[in-house]
Structure 1
Amino acid sequence: MALKETKQPIIIKRVRKPGGHHGGAWKIAFADFATAMMAFFMLLWILTSSTENQKAAIAEYFNNPSAFMGIAASPSQAQGEGTGSKPMIIDFKGAVDTGPPQPLTPEQIDELAHAQDAARLAVLKKIIEDKIKESETLSPYKDQLLIDIVTEGLRIQIVDQENRPMFDLGSAKLKEYTRAILHELAGLINQVPNRISITGHTDARPLGGILYSNWELSTDRANAARRALSEGGMQPDKVSRVVGLASTVPFDRNDPNNPINRRINIIVLTREADAAIHREAGQLTAVPSVSAH
């Protein structure tokens, strides 16, 4: 009697895992880059603080590490290779003991800090540019988001267009899409320890009043942007300065009434620029003592 054939269905389960540019993979890449930069700066510090003899000893370790552990050299290595000493134990005869490594000078520390700032802001610029391309919130407004490196740091400009303003006309009330843009930027700004400066700009059209002019409007708009960034999760201690410049620094110098002159500038400050702001504020608020006569 023939055996009855039985067929069982084969079920294949496919699990889709989110990832790619919509996941958090870029954070890992950024962390790896930061770790590599720290290792690079440590290497620079070692090279600048070590003597020639110490560098030669380090090189010998990589050429013949067994000599540092009291192990005989491998048969393929002839006796005396490397420094010329027996391959049993490293010979430091002739090396001058210069004591502990010399500390970095203030100039060297400033150079390292400047290089670290530049590298950090360059990475943040790339992250923001990629986010603008990928994000459903930011990509429709890519023509209104201008990113560049300036002397003070990384500048993010959100500019007006004739048919797409950031605020209600003559008001500091944010459009909903402007608020969404600022919420997206808040999380990106948190990726670096640098503080920020927020500046409001208007065009040259007068508001028609004395008590409330473009000076007040530009300042109120800068503060509205600050509040939106905080709502988006930006750390509260990130803000170094909030100012309004009215129409004194137009984007389009040939046309003071061009809508592009109405803009919010967010600058992720370098360490030097942040320190300069606080030095200037301290000098302005300092009250000279008056001696009694």
Structure 2
Amino acid sequence: MALQPIIIKKVKKAAHGHHGGAWKIAYADFVTAMMAFFLLMWLISMTTQEQKAGLAEYFAPAALSPATSGAGGMLYGTSLDTSGNKPSTPREKATGSAEQDERARPTSAGGASDLDASRPAASVQPNYSAMASLRQALQKMPDIAELSRNIVIEPTKEGVNVSLVDDDGRSMFREGSVDPHERTRRVLEALAPALRRLPNRLSITGYTSATRPGSARAGEPWNLTAGRALAVREILSGAGVPNENFASVVGRADTEPVFPDNPYIAPNRRVTVTLLNASPATPPNILR
């Protein structure tokens, strides 16, 4: 009987290939993200409310008051900067320089310049917190891009102005009427929660454009502007703004156009809601 051959199998075990360092990269990204998060939390805890408001204003998109130039745009050749401010005219610049020179002159004790110098600087600074809150409220509207040409938010000496401005092809109120369009109502209802939270009192003022010679006047201007301002107040009140927050509701007719050189154009028709600055307390030693 023949013997079967013995077969021996030799299996060569090769070392496993290198798995790579992808996990190290992922772990490094995770550690970096956590470090950035805790650094951000530390910075937030160290900043004041004014600094936070300034940061929010810096990063807020400027779509609510776009810069335009040339013959088109809401202000017809008068540009708006990224903060929504209209550049000063030569007369305004001259007036501002004269006021600064007047404040710089020495006066007797108890004079007007001493009183101005004693007031806190914060009372004349733009209310960035209010502006940021209003812009954030409007950015939640789905059609804010369409309405951006009709909304101007800008700081003034009195406080912060929120103006609902007519534009060629799009008005905020029906022609010659105190009835607002639905888009105007949506804008005001979007602003109401922010206005309700802010401590500023509100002054609402209506304006209209002048009537071209030979044209029929669309409503009596004083009643028209006062009625539109009152309609804005009623919408804000119905949206939750307390009655005690309203300081005044007035109509200015066509006496204060945005463009005195052309008082007939559409942007002169507007309703402005002003968030009034709080009056600074007079130091007791000033009156002695």
Q: Tell me the TM-score range normalised by the shorter chain.
A: 0.5 to 0.7
CA contact (8 A) 1:222 1:244 kept: yes
CA contact (8 A) 1:117 1:271 kept: no
In structure 1, C-alpha distance between the alignment counterparts of 2:51 and 2:261, rounded to whole Å: 46
In structure 1, C-alpha distance between the alignment counterparts of 2:144 and 2:243, rounded to whole Å: 23
In structure 2, C-alpha distance between the alignment counterparts of 1:117 and 1:193, rounded to whole Å: 16
SS of the counterpart of 2:232?
A: helix
Q: Does 2:132 correspond to 1:115? A: no
The CA deviation at 1:224 is 0.4
Match of 1:190 in 2: 196
Q: Does 2:260 correspond to 1:265? A: no
In structure 1, C-alpha distance between the alignment counterparts of 2:241 and 2:148, rounded to whole Å: 21
The CA deviation at 1:137 is 4.8
Unaligned runs of 5+ in 2: 1-43, 53-114, 283-288
> Given the superposition, is the C-alpha separation of residues 257 and 126 from structure 1 closer, same or farther in structure 2, using an over 3 Å criterion?
same
Match of 1:160 in 2: 166
> Given the superposition, is the C-alpha separation of residues 161 and 127 from structure 1 closer, same or farther in structure 2, using an over 3 Å criterion?
same
The CA deviation at 1:216 is 0.8
In structure 1, C-alpha distance between the alignment counterparts of 2:130 and 2:124, rounded to whole Å: 11
> Given the superposition, is the C-alpha separation of residues 204 and 156 from structure 1 closer, same or farther in structure 2, using an over 3 Å criterion?
same
Pick from 248, 251, 266: which aligns with 1:244? 251
SS of the counterpart of 2:152?
A: strand
Q: Deviations over 1:233-253 (max 9, x none)?
A: 112211001110001111122
Structure with greater contact order relative to length (CA < 8 Å, sep ≥ 6): 2
Output the aligned Cα RMSD: 3.3
The CA deviation at 1:171 is 0.5
In structure 1, C-alpha distance between the alignment counterparts of 2:153 and 2:50, rounded to whole Å: 25
In structure 1, C-alpha distance between the alignment counterparts of 2:176 and 2:50, rounded to whole Å: 47
In structure 2, C-alpha distance between the alignment counterparts of 1:118 and 1:193, rounded to whole Å: 16
CA contact (8 A) 2:203 2:249 kept: yes
In structure 2, C-alpha distance between the alignment counterparts of 1:183 and 1:252, rounded to whole Å: 29
Q: Deviations over 1:118-177 (max 9, x none)?
A: 47x211112222333443253421111111110000111110012111111100011111
The CA deviation at 1:254 is 2.1
CA contact (8 A) 2:138 2:187 kept: no
In structure 2, C-alpha distance between the alignment counterparts of 1:192 and 1:33, rounded to whole Å: 18
In structure 1, C-alpha distance between the alignment counterparts of 2:163 and 2:202, rounded to whole Å: 13
Unaligned runs of 5+ in 1: 1-28, 38-106, 276-293
Match of 1:140 in 2: 146
Aligned-partner residue type, residue 147 of structure 2: Y
Aligned-partner residue type, residue 225 of structure 1: V
Match of 1:19 in 2: none
The CA deviation at 1:33 is 5.0
SS of the counterpart of 2:227?
A: helix
Match of 1:149 in 2: 155
Matches within 5 A, 1:171-186: 171-186=177-192
In structure 2, C-alpha distance between the alignment counterparts of 1:261 and 1:209, rounded to whole Å: 15
In structure 1, C-alpha distance between the alignment counterparts of 2:268 and 2:259, rounded to whole Å: 6
Aligned-partner residue type, residue 223 of structure 1: L
Match of 1:232 in 2: 239
Matches within 5 A, 1:1-293: 33-34=48-49, 111-112=119-120, 115=122, 118=125, 121-205=127-211, 208=216, 213-272=220-279
Aligned-partner residue type, residue 266 of structure 1: V
The CA deviation at 1:258 is 0.5
> Given the superposition, is the C-alpha separation of residues 183 and 134 from structure 1 closer, same or farther in structure 2, using an over 3 Å criterion?
closer
Q: Deviations over 1:177-214 (max 9, x none)?
A: 1011111111111221110100000110279579x610
